[in-house]
Amino acid sequence: MKIDILFDYICFICYYYVPSKVNKKKIKLLFESIPFFLPEKNQDQIFKIITRRPIDSYYDKNETMREYGYLIYKDYCIDVNERYLDYQDYMDKFLIHLHKDVHIQRKWVKHMIFVIAVVGLIYFLYKNK
């Protein structure tokens, strides 16, 4: 699905959303604007979904904003007859994407430590002959 990046973005902004008077106005404006930055074939679908689910019911808490992002994703998948993840899998997928670079870096560091240890052991054995 080419629109996955949109749902990753929505999940990201909902995940880090902090409720405040200013943020409520800005997040509402952002969600109302999202459809206009999509290809024409998706604009109407996303606009209708956002209109059906007013953000005013969700933007008082971070947890409900996360749920709101998921509901937009779920409604879209239902509209286009695609399978969708349950809420926990949806959030897990997001968190894996979010922390992917950290995991890759940790794996790389572990490999480098192993290589350095092996080279050090070989050097130590060679010097003690």
Residue 112 lies in a domain: no
- What's residue 106's pLDDT? 64
What is the chain's pLDDT, residue by residue, as a tens digit (129 residues)? 578 889 989 999 999 999 999 999 999 999 999 999 888 888 999 999 999 999 999 999 999 999 999 999 999 999 999 999 999 999 888 888 777 665 556 666 677 787 888 888 787 888 876
Q: Is residue 101 part of a domain?
A: no
**Which pLDDT value is given to residue 121?**
79
At residue 39, the pLDDT reads 87
In a domain, 98, yes or no: no
- Whether residue 103 is contained in a domain is answered as no
Domain presence at residue 118:
no
The confidence score (pLDDT) of residue 103 equals 55
CA distance 71 to 49: 9
What span, in angstroms and rounded, lies between the C-alpha atoms of 87 and 95?
12
- Domain annotation covers residue 113: no
Alpha helices in 16-86 (DSSP H): 21-33, 40-52, 62-79
Asked if the structure places residue 125 within a domain, the reply is no
CA–CA gap between residue 65 and residue 56 (Å, rounded): 10
Q: What's the domain count of the chain?
A: 1
Residues 94, 70: Cα–Cα separation, whole Å: 11
Q: What is the pLDDT of residue 84?
A: 92
* Domain assignment of residue 104, yes or no: no
| Enclosing domain of residue 68 | 4-84
Residue in the structure block whose two tokens are 């350095």: 116
Q: List, as one string, the DSSP characters of 76-88.
A: HHHHTT-----HH
Q: Which residues contact 34 (CB under 8 A, 6 or more apart)?
A: 6, 10, 46, 50
The span from the CA of 35 to the CA of 33, in Å, is 6
